[in-house]
Amino acid sequence: MNITTGEKDSIKIRPTDEGYVRIHKALQRRSLTSCGYLYYYEGEKHKLINEIKAHIKTDYLALENAESRDRITQIKNHITKNKRYLEILEKI
């Protein structure tokens, strides 16, 4: 799904395709996005939503213990970004 437009598209990718490694990492949840897209398997959108909610929760916990101003800003940016992803996913 394209993050900026919210458009959903179904793709099939082979190990020989360009970008396979990046997409595979996103599907294995090593990263939430890849090249501006959220990737998840058909029928597993709820799992991604739950993971993003868990990320937000842990970020709030980390925010309570953050000491440096830079770290606080970084955590707040993560929370904002993850909330945006969650909002997009819940729309579709």
Which residues are CB-neighbours of 36 under 8 A, at least 6 positions away?
Answer: 2, 3, 4
| pTM (2 d.p.) | 0.77
By mean pLDDT, which of 13-17, 38-42, 66-70 is the weakest? Answer: 13-17
Q: What mean pLDDT comes out for the span 14-22?
A: 80
pLDDT band at 79 (very low <50, low <70, confident <90, very high): very high
Q: What mean pLDDT comes out for the span 26-30?
A: 72
- Using alpha carbons, list the distances in angstroms from residue 49 to 69, 78, 84: 29, 15, 11
pLDDT band at 77 (very low <50, low <70, confident <90, very high): very high
Q: How far is CA 53 from the centre of its chain?
A: 10
Range list of H helices, the chain? 20-27, 45-65, 69-91
CA distance 21 to 44: 20
Q: Is the pLDDT of residue 3 over 80?
A: no
Q: Is the pLDDT of residue 7 over 80?
A: no
